[in-house]
Each structure stands twice: as structure tokens, then as C-alpha cells.
Structure 1
Amino acid sequence: MARDSIVILGQVLAGIIGLNVALELAKRGYGQHITVIGRELPGDSNVDYTSPWAGANFSGISGTDPNALRWDRAGYLALMGLIERGAEEAKFLAKTESTEYWDEQPSAEKIKSVTEYLRDVKVTPEADLPGGVSFGLSFTTITLNAPAHCLHLKSLLSRPEYGSIKFERRAVNALEDAFLSPKTKIVFNCIGNAAKTMPGVQDAKCYPTRGQIVLAKAPAVKQNVMRHGKDYETYIIPRPLSDSTVILGGYLQKGDSDGRVREEESRSILRRTGELLPVLKQNDTRILKVAVGFRPSRETGARVEREEIQGRTVVHNYGAGGTGYQAGMGMAQDAVDLAQEVLGQLPVSKL
């Protein structure tokens, strides 16, 4: 049996997008055919490996195009289903009370879409909105402990019942190099920010979106709170099973590739999050770390698309920006669906 019949290419990361594709394939019985390759793997720390530093929740941060709305819905329902079934994949996921605010009124399409499937959704009365806020929504969100979840998925996927998926640290300089042998039938291209420059892809629509976060220990924080501004994002996201740590953010700086921590931004994050949720100002809040990462963004939205290159099949799956954790499972479902004709040539072994 060829373990490189299916290759999932992460290039500078085997992050949440690639892991979700591996999980979807394993659930459909193809785990025994998969090799996941990447220069960085779960457990690593690198400014280009953004997955560990994500706030990792379901939120209204995504766009309003039909694909984004559809992937959000699929992702929320899939993650919620894992939690409610007590699935092993849900170990580092949690249902969490959430309140989100928008400085500018979100589109009617956005509101209609999310209120159809979010749990416990309520529109915030106008009298209860903070100053400068036009719209608010409360609901039950899903929060994830990002680094622990990625490590846990890698561990699960390596088990025999998932197909003993192989994870290999490997630097790939061009898309064609991901076809590891003549037996490789398909490559899932999940290379994130590398899509802009990698030969064989070179997608000019791709760009990094810089973010800076503060990781804090804050035992008083039990809820998710976000404020979507015109040119900023403020968020407070508790991490499940993390000894009361929370992600405080943040920034969405399009095209900014400066990996240095900016002290003035840390101060701004602490000020904004403290105003949004005053319990953060209690004495038991303690800063643990400040980190910078680059969300793999793309003009017109993420690319989930099949392409034949010199007679070989590639399914592109990148450009999710800051929505990889919430939309990634929906994107993975679409990516694997696109590959079904090729996958049908391989024997399956159901979970």
C-alpha cells in the first residue's frame, strides 16, 4: 500500500487547514494512503506558522460571500456535532457564551445566514450596545485551544484507526515536488502564505495579514467577547483546558510582514480588551506571552479548487485568512468532494 498516494502539502506549516483535510479523508476511509508534509509541524513555533497563535473560535469575522457563509455554517455544525457526540476530536473544544459587536452594521445576508444555525442567538437591544457600536449579537460559540488541538489531531490521525497517517517534516520548493513518487495520485495544496511565491502556484491574490496577540492567564474570564471595528479587531477568547489562559487581540494588518512585537500594540490590546470586558483588569490577570503571526489571506476569499497540472491532480485549499478554525472543516469537506473521482480509485477502510 502506497502511503504517498495522497499527499497533503503544508509547506511552511502543517496547520489547521491541512489537518482538517487529513481528518476528513480519514473519516471517509482514506487515511492509510496519506502523507502530510510540511517544514513546520504541530508543536513548532514560527512566525509563519500561525495556527498555534490563533484565537481559535467561531465568530463573525468572516466575509459575506456565499462560500464564506457556507463554510462557516458547515464548520460550526461540524464542530458542534463533535462536542455533542463526545468525539475524541473535540477534546480541546468547548461551548462558550459569546457576545460580538460591530461598529458598522453587518450585511443583511450575514445576519440572516448566521441566525439560521447559531445556538441561543439573540440580537443585543440597542440600549445595551456600547458607545460607537451599531449592532450586537449573543450566541453559543465554539472556542478551541489552538496549539493543543493541532497536536491532538496529529496524534489521533497517527493512530491505526485513522489510517496511521504519516507526518513528514520536509521542505518543498515547488508544487510539483509534492508528488513524492509515481504512485502519488493527488496533492492537497494547503500551503497558506507560501501560495504567493511557490512555483506551480504563485497566486498573486495572496497576502499576509499580520496579527499580534497577548496570551494571558485570566481566571475571571469565562466568556468570548469580540468587537469588529472598521480598521481594527478586539477580541477576548478563552482557551479550553488551558489553566485559565485567554487570547487577547488584536490586529488585522493587511500586507504587513513585520514579525517583530510592537509594544505600543500590546498596550493598545490590553486597553481595548479591558474596556470591552472589565474583569480583565482584576489583579489575577497576568501576561504570559506576546506573539505575532501572519494569517494566510487572499483577495476574493479562500481558494478551494481542483486543477489538473500536466495530467496530475491538485486540489487547492488555502487563503482562509483568520477563519481557518471556524471554516476549515467546511473547506475540507468541499476539497475532498472535489477529489472524489480520483479518490474512488483507492480502497477505503472506514473508521
Structure 2
Amino acid sequence: MGRSIVIVGAGVIGLDVALLLAEQGYGPCITVVAEHLPGDTSINYTSPWAGANFSAISGGDANALRWDKYGYEHMLKLAEEHGTEACISKTPSFEYWDELPSPTKIESMAEYLKDFRILSLSDIPEGCQFGVSFTTITVNAPRYIQYLYGVLQEQYGVQFVRRKLPSIEAAFTDVSTKVVFNCTGNGARHLPGVEDVRSYPTRGQILLTRAPQIVKNVMRHGKDYETYIIPRPQSSGNVILGGYMQKGVSTGDTFSSESDSIVERTTTLLPELLTPGMEILAAFSGLRPSREGGARVERTNIQLEDSRDGIIVHNYGAGGTGFQAGLGMARDAVGAVEDVLSRLSREKSRL
């Protein structure tokens, strides 16, 4: 039964799918196949480079709002129960907008965000039209995915295989495979059998700094930029500063001019960074797996070369919201194959 469920991709999106399935008892049935695994670094492996936090950066469409709410509630619980080992933390957050967000977005946030409060104009930066404060979740991205990696293997018996697949169909090599979850992120654009032309990278550059005096999350959402300050849990005072949202840019290079801009914007937004001072440790860039029209969570069928029918659940394209939307996306992805999972449960019970 070990290859009944194959998940292609071991970023936070694939790990979230594995986690939800494992919590339902399918751990020994799951094999995660990926070119890169937690602990690796590559420009083609996005999750370790993330800020990461729960923020209002997501869209205002129904799916994004629903995924955000589900993800927030579950990660808040995780922070309360396993925050130290998972390297996630509840953190005060202040977010500002240069342009007023939609009423739907504001109403949705107010419904579930803990300690949510709309700020007065006198309490927000000059040039902003709207601001809120609430309790957010900040995430030490590389250590968090390593935590999930360990839990999935040690607690749930999930198998991991390091392999770059030549096509999505190759995930069905084992005849016992019933369903494949395609969580390939940026790989979805070029992976044979998927080749989604709507997929594209959105490059970001961040600075890893040491500023232990910063214990709050601060973000400014502009029309064509994002500025953010995210303290990194369990890191001895490290803080992530960003950033950039460069659609269609795929270089992993970093640029001093962009680092200078990040420092200027973040210290203007939060002058406490300079008191008593911060140390810049490194600059990094990452490629958010974005998609025109939003993330794709969809069940499809393919005809395999040996005449079997293959069931694929596509689950990718979250852009910069993978850590907060991933669990909600995973719930929809898993829900799309409830019939397959029910049959699998019956087969397990007969063994």
C-alpha cells in the first residue's frame, strides 16, 4: 500500500497535503517524490526562502479568503501547542495599505483574526489609507518544513523519495498508485503532462538580519510592491526584511541596489530597526510559484500508457501565500478524491 498515494513535490504545499492525509490515517500509503527535500537549498525549491508569516497579502476572492481562514485557525493552534518544536510563533502584527482593500477582504479578516482592530488614520504611516492590527503567525520557514518532514516520517510513516520525475505520468510507475497529487510549484510550467502556461515565477529578494529588539510583524502593501518586517521564531533574534514582487523574473541573483531599497523602506516603516541597530547577515532571492487566475486545485484524469486511468489532483500556484493558504488548499485537494480514499480505506481494512 506504500505507493497508493503519491505526492509530487516536497515544498510546504506538498507537505501540507501529506499532513492532512496522514492525520486521516493514510500515512503508510503515502510516498512523497521530489527533486528537493527539506534541508536542501536551491532557487528551484521555494519554501526555504519564504519570510514567512500569515498576512493580508492574499487576494480577496472566495477561495483565498476560505483558505486563509482555515490555515490561520490551524496554524494558530499549532503555535499554541507545538510552537517551539515547529518554529512558529504568535506575533503582534501591523499591516498598512496604500489603497483601501475591498470591504469583503476587511470583513473576512475581522471575522476570525485574533485581536483584530482597524487602526485610526493617525496611527498609520503617511501615504497609507488603511491599517489593521491583529495577532499573526510568524514562521521560521526552513526549520518549519524540516519539522513537518520529521513528523511525517517518524510519527506517520510517510515515505520520501528523492527523484526528479521526467513527467507527471511517471508518478504512476507503480501499478498500486491510485492517485497523484501534483504539488510541483514552479515546476508545473514545464513538467511534461502538466505544462501549465498560466504558471510563472514571482521573484522576491529578502535580507536576513539580526535585530533581536524587533518582536512584531509589520507590513506595507503597495500597488506594485511589498515592504515587510518579519521576526523569525527560534532564531536568536533574526528578522526577515523585504521585499520585491517581480512577476515573471526567474533569476536567483541578489542585487545591492535592491538590498539598499529594502533597508531604506523597512527602516522608514519601522525606525526601531536602527535602535540600537541591526546587523545584515545575508541577502537571498526566491521564486514564488504564481499562476494567472490564482492557485489551481483541481482533479483531472489521464489515460496512462498501460491503459490504466490515472487520477491527478493539481495543487499549485499559491504565489507568496503558500504557508498560510497551504492547509486550506490541501483540504480542497484531499476532498476532491474522497471516493478514491474511501475505496483505499476499504482495501486497507481487508488486509
Structure 2 unaligned blocks of 5 or more: 304-308
> Partner of 2:318 in structure 1?
320
Q: Quote how far apart the aligned CAs of 1:256 are.
A: 0.8
- Partner of residue 294 from structure 1, selected from 287, 290, 314: 287
Measured in 2, the distance between the counterparts of 1:278 and 1:89 equals: 28
Measured in 1, the distance between the counterparts of 2:162 and 2:277 equals: 40
* 1:343 correspondence with 2:341: yes
* 1:217 correspondence with 2:210: yes
> Partner of 2:3 in structure 1?
4
Measured in 1, the distance between the counterparts of 2:236 and 2:33 equals: 32
Structure 1 unaligned blocks of 5 or more: none
SS at match of 2:343: coil
Amino acid at match of 2:195: Q
- Partner of residue 263 from structure 2, selected from 248, 257, 270: 270
CA 1:88 to 1:283, structure 2 compared with 1: closer, same or farther past 3 Å? closer
Amino acid at match of 2:61: D
> Partner of 2:278 in structure 1?
285
CA 1:88 to 1:276, structure 2 compared with 1: closer, same or farther past 3 Å? closer
Q: Deviations over 1:72-125 (max 9, x none)?
A: 0111011112233x1479631111000000001001110011110000011010
Q: Which of 229-238 and 74-83 deviates more? A: 74-83
Measured in 1, the distance between the counterparts of 2:338 and 2:21 equals: 10
Q: What is the percent sequence identity of the aligned residues?
A: 56
Amino acid at match of 2:234: L
Measured in 2, the distance between the counterparts of 1:281 and 1:48 equals: 33
Paired residues for 1:1-351 under 5 Å? 2-10=1-9, 14-84=10-80, 86-87=81-82, 91-159=86-154, 161-162=155-156, 164-310=157-303, 311-347=309-345
Q: Quote how far apart the aligned CAs of 1:345 are.
A: 1.8
Q: Quote how far apart the aligned CAs of 1:45 are.
A: 0.7
Measured in 2, the distance between the counterparts of 1:148 and 1:260 equals: 23
Measured in 2, the distance between the counterparts of 1:320 and 1:189 equals: 13
Measured in 2, the distance between the counterparts of 1:185 and 1:87 equals: 33
**TM (normalized to structure 2)?**
0.95
Q: Quote how far apart the aligned CAs of 1:179 are.
A: 1.3
Q: Quote how far apart the aligned CAs of 1:178 are.
A: 1.1
CA contact (8 A) 2:296 2:316 kept: yes
CA contact (8 A) 1:79 1:90 kept: no
> Partner of 2:306 in structure 1?
none
SS at match of 2:112: coil
Amino acid at match of 2:336: L
Q: Deviations over 1:259-310 (max 9, x none)?
A: 2111100000011111111111134411111101100000111001111111
Measured in 1, the distance between the counterparts of 2:277 and 2:121 equals: 32
Measured in 1, the distance between the counterparts of 2:277 and 2:100 equals: 35
SS at match of 2:106: helix
Q: Deviations over 1:36-66 (max 9, x none)?
A: 0111110011111111111111101001111
Give the 4+ runs in structure 1 shifted more than 3 A.
87-90
CA contact (8 A) 1:82 1:89 kept: no
CA contact (8 A) 2:210 2:239 kept: yes
CA 1:279 to 1:20, structure 2 compared with 1: closer, same or farther past 3 Å? same
Measured in 2, the distance between the counterparts of 1:64 and 1:261 equals: 31
Measured in 1, the distance between the counterparts of 2:229 and 2:272 equals: 11
After superposition, the CA RMSD in angstroms is 1.3
Q: Quote how far apart the aligned CAs of 1:204 are.
A: 1.1
CA contact (8 A) 2:86 2:143 kept: no
Amino acid at match of 1:339: V
Measured in 2, the distance between the counterparts of 1:90 and 1:201 equals: 36
CA 1:136 to 1:90, structure 2 compared with 1: closer, same or farther past 3 Å? farther
CA contact (8 A) 1:211 1:295 kept: yes
Q: Deviations over 1:171-220 (max 9, x none)?
A: 11211011130001110000000111111111111110000000111111
Amino acid at match of 1:336: V
Q: Deviations over 1:113-156 (max 9, x none)?
A: 11100000110101222111010000000111100000011011
